[in-house]
Amino acid sequence: MAISDKNKERLDNMNKRARDAQLGSIIQTAQSDLDTAEADIVVLEGLVGGFKIVAAELVTTSGGAASEDITVTGALATDVAMVVLNTEGTSPVTIVRAAAGENKVTVEFSADPSTDHVVNVIVIRPAS
């Protein structure tokens, strides 16, 4: 469903207020054209409780081992990684731990997740 003109206006106002408060842009569209039916809104530079959201994405597991490195461009080893199982695949697994690294998040599962699990990866950084 396309984003309505009223919602576009609301998003523009949110960004204007955030820039006026020197917080940068709170939201940005995943696609440059908000009129498309596929437009998704993603948080890119929003500040949440003193943290900056660096990345938020859904990733399908690649399988082959219980530990997987997920590419997250811009992630640092000092960032905080949060990973949640979004869609469980055919072989049940749990997330044991997750840690941010340079341009990646390493996720350790309870077993090999195969190629059909989807995880929600969020990386945050203390705001400077």
37 shares its domain with 75: no
User: Residue 118 is encoded by which pair of tokens?
Assistant: 């989807």
52 shares its domain with 105: yes
Alpha carbon distance 47, 53 (integer Å): 7
62 shares its domain with 22: no
Q: What is the mean pLDDT of the chain?
A: 77
Average pLDDT over residues 54-65: 92
**pLDDT class of 27 with cuts at 50, 70, 90:** low
40 shares its domain with 96: no
User: Residue 73 is encoded by which pair of tokens?
Assistant: 């461009």
How many folded domains does the chain comprise? 2
33 shares its domain with 77: no
**pLDDT class of 34 with cuts at 50, 70, 90:** very low
Per-residue confidence (pLDDT) for residue 44, from 0 to 100: 44
1 shares its domain with 29: yes
Per-residue confidence (pLDDT) for residue 51, from 0 to 100: 73
Average pLDDT over residues 114-118: 94
65 shares its domain with 116: yes
Alpha carbon distance 33, 69 (integer Å): 32
Alpha carbon distance 120, 115 (integer Å): 15
Of the listed ranges 10-24, 60-74, 90-104, the least confidently predicted one is 10-24
40 shares its domain with 79: no
30 shares its domain with 93: no
**pLDDT class of 105 with cuts at 50, 70, 90:** very high
Domain extent, residue 40, equals: 1-45
Residue 98 in this model has a pLDDT that exceeds 60: yes
